[in-house]
Amino acid sequence: MSIQFKSIVDLRAMLDEGSISASELTQESLKLAKKYKELNCFVTMNEELSAKKANAIDLNEKDSSWLSGIPLAQKDLFCTEGLRTTCSSKILSNFIPPYSATAVKKLEDAGSITVGKTNMDEFAMGSSNETSFFGNVHNPWKKGYVPGGSSGGSAAAVAAGIVPAATGTDTGGSIRQPAAHCGITGLKPTYGRISRWGMIAFASSLDQAGPLARTAEDCAILLNTMSGHDSKDTTSLNSDVPDFLENINQPIDGLKIGIIKEFNLGDLDPQVQALFEESKKNYEALGAQFIEISLPNISASVPTYYSIAPAECSSNLSRFDGVRFGHRAENTNDLNDLYIKSRSEGFGDEVKRRILIGTYALSAGYYDAYYKKAQQVRRLIKNDFDHAFQSVDVLMTPTSPNAAFKFGSKGAQNPVELYLEDLFTISSNLAGLPAISIPHGQINSLPAGLQLIGNFLREDQILNAAHIFQKNSDHHQARPNLGDF
């Protein structure tokens, strides 16, 4: 029986009724990964260990908890003990971590099976998965098109039905935008909801792990397991973790949805606009009310983000120096030469660009004008959201201003073109708020995503709104034709 395109809920039922074993499931998943190798979703496969674990699960007493025996893929930014972790960078192309990220460990402790590590933009810096040292990932919907980024490999692996779900990380839209471009569901939780221990840092104050899956329900299952305070990450929140499945099916009658005035949706591609209007109608039919609301500072989100994120990245990436791990240049004269050559050879252009921007933004004489100012604006944006959530329950935007595009068609001349991909997603990272992207139709046969932003720690509300939408529509069930791969 094929397992391709099955959700976690489907696979759980199959495992429980005994129509498939964990071992068979894992082997099927590994086979699909091989079959669609050309998609280039994976950087490293975990064949041996995953087979061993699946076998152990089959031999153990029957365990019907959600994730037992379920194959998952991990973004190659999470450290996995004994399994190569590269961040899709040459500088870490030989790095095998001695420990696992808390998020991965929790998923594995819950019985899930890591079948492989997924391709991504190098160090999560990019919105098209084109900055990976290991090559582009194809969008399963159309060969030669980007899957979005940075969690492009995870999104493509789920969209192609290789795994029912995968982990991703989201610093400015890196879960939601690829989820939108690949026609799947992706959730960025509240900052601090999931431990960052073992996640290779891009921008510490913005990075957040989260799930990519076929449905909101599956996202809730993963979120239940991944969440919670971790003493190893002092920025992880010490708040109770509710059962995100419990209220997911509540009617959304009377739900107040805010539309952000400053996003000027009228200026968008008419097709993006049309889909958005249609989704609005669908939500209205489900009992939601729409309110236009002003977030006066939100238009400053992109420049604010591109001051803060590179600044933190320039410091976070200093440890990749060729001294203790990772790529080390040969034939160097002295310590400085070792740094310069190892880093010049090890990092790609986009990473270098951001390190340079960040180094500049933190320099003496520029700190106040860039980094400090950006942090002040960030606070204003956060206040705008706080204010908005006094009158609405969730905010709704398109996830991306456009659908997936051709390899090499954006940002080659002007990187800012690509930075604008994150126009709608970046502000929730700046404010630390949860947000989800769900498929809501297609533009020229390519999927488009709808974003719901929730209030602080209110993943339950956006999951509920997303699930009710999915119960009443079939956009999330559309499957790509993988004949070209």
**Is 78 one of the binding residues for other proteins (CB under 8 A)?**
yes
Q: Determine the Cα–Cα distance for residues 196 and 193; give it in Å rounded to an integer.
A: 9
Using an 8 Å Cβ cutoff, are 424 and 397 in contact?
yes
Kindly state the smallest distance separating residue 167's Cβ from other proteins, in Å: 13
Query: Contact region for other proteins (CB under 8 A) — 192-200, 250-258, 269-277, 475-483?
Result: 192-200
Q: Give the torsion sign (CA, 269, 271, 273, 276).
A: negative
Answer for which of 98, 254, 266, 270 binds other proteins (CB under 8 A) is 98
Answer for which of 3, 79, 216, 381 binds other proteins (CB under 8 A) is 79
Kindly state the smallest distance separating residue 18's Cβ from other proteins, in Å: 38
Q: Determine the Cα–Cα distance for residues 188 and 435; give it in Å rounded to an integer.
A: 5
Kindly state the smallest distance separating residue 389's Cβ from other proteins, in Å: 23
**Is 232 one of the binding residues for other proteins (CB under 8 A)?**
yes
Kindly state the smallest distance separating residue 456's Cβ from other proteins, in Å: 16
**Is 137 one of the binding residues for other proteins (CB under 8 A)?**
no
Query: Contact region for other proteins (CB under 8 A) — 96-104, 140-148, 377-385, 411-419?
Result: 96-104
Answer for which of 43, 57, 194, 201 binds other proteins (CB under 8 A) is 201
Cα–Cα distances in angstroms (integers) from residue 124 to residues 78, 171, 203, in the given order: 11, 8, 10
Kindly state the smallest distance separating residue 233's Cβ from other proteins, in Å: 5
**The one-letter amino acid at 434:** P
**Is 94 one of the binding residues for other proteins (CB under 8 A)?**
no
**Is 348 one of the binding residues for other proteins (CB under 8 A)?**
no
Residues contacting residue 179 through CB under 8 Å, at least 6 positions apart: 148, 151, 155, 168, 185, 186, 212, 399, 437, 449
Q: Exactly one of 174, 227, 307, 400 is catalytic; which is it?
A: 174
**Is 234 one of the binding residues for other proteins (CB under 8 A)?**
yes
Comparison of 93 and 250: residue with beta carbon closer to other proteins: 93
Region of residue 364 (phi > 0: left; psi between -120 and 50: alpha; otherwise: beta) = beta
Q: Report helix angle 216-226 to 8-17, nearest 10.
A: 80
Q: Exactly one of 23, 29, 50, 75 is catalytic; which is it?
A: 75
**The one-letter amino acid at 100:** S
Comparison of 69 and 168: residue with beta carbon closer to other proteins: 168
Residue environment code for 323-340, b if the CB has 16+ CB neighbours within 10 A, otherwise e:
eeebbbbeeeeeeeebbe
Classify residue 273 as exposed, middle or buried by CB count within 10 Å of its CB (0-12, 13-18, 19+): middle
- The token pair at 94 is 């030989």
**Is 362 one of the binding residues for other proteins (CB under 8 A)?**
yes
Q: Examine the residue annotation and report whether 352 is marked as an active-site residue of this protein.
A: no
Comparison of 205 and 289: residue with beta carbon closer to other proteins: 205
Asked if residue 314 has a cis previous peptide bond (ω within 30° of 0), the answer is no
Q: Tell me which H or E stretch contains 56.
A: helix 47-59
Q: Which neighbouring-strand residues pair with 437?
A: 186, 451
Comparison of 59 and 364: residue with beta carbon closer to other proteins: 364
**Is 196 one of the binding residues for other proteins (CB under 8 A)?**
yes
**Is 321 one of the binding residues for other proteins (CB under 8 A)?**
yes
* E strands, 318-414, in order: 394-398
Query: By CB under 8 A, what part of segment 367-406 binds other proteins?
Result: 367, 371
**Is 335 one of the binding residues for other proteins (CB under 8 A)?**
yes
Region of residue 318 (phi > 0: left; psi between -120 and 50: alpha; otherwise: beta) = alpha
Q: Examine the residue annotation and report whether 75 is marked as an active-site residue of this protein.
A: yes
Kindly state the smallest distance separating residue 177's Cβ from other proteins, in Å: 23
Q: Determine the Cα–Cα distance for residues 277 and 273; give it in Å rounded to an integer.
A: 6
Q: Give the contact letters, 293-312, x = binds to other proteins (CB under 8 A), - = no.
A: ------------------xx
Question: Which of 344, 314, 350 has the alpha carbon at shortest distance from 330?
Answer: 344
Backbone angles phi, psi at 91, to 5 degrees: -65, -20
Answer for which of 325, 332, 353, 382 binds other proteins (CB under 8 A) is 325
Backbone angles phi, psi at 478, to 5 degrees: -60, 140
Kindly state the smallest distance separating residue 465's Cβ from other proteins, in Å: 31
**Is 345 one of the binding residues for other proteins (CB under 8 A)?**
no
Site size toward other proteins, by CB under 8 A: 45
**Is 285 one of the binding residues for other proteins (CB under 8 A)?**
no
Question: Which of 1, 48, 132, 2 has the alpha carbon at shortest distance from 482?
Answer: 2
- Angle formed at CA 273 by CA 272 and CA 274, multiple of 5 degrees: 95
Answer for which of 13, 56, 291, 323 binds other proteins (CB under 8 A) is 323
**Is 320 one of the binding residues for other proteins (CB under 8 A)?**
yes
Answer for which of 364, 390, 413, 483 binds other proteins (CB under 8 A) is 364
Q: Examine the residue annotation and report whether 174 is marked as an active-site residue of this protein.
A: yes
Q: Exactly one of 23, 127, 128, 150 is catalytic; which is it?
A: 150
The footprint of other proteins (CB under 8 A) covers 78-79, 85, 87, 92, 95, 97-99, 101, 196-201, 203-205, 231-235, 311-312, 314-315, 317-321, 323-325, 335-336, 339, 359, 362-364, 367, 371
Which residues carry out catalysis? 75, 150, 174
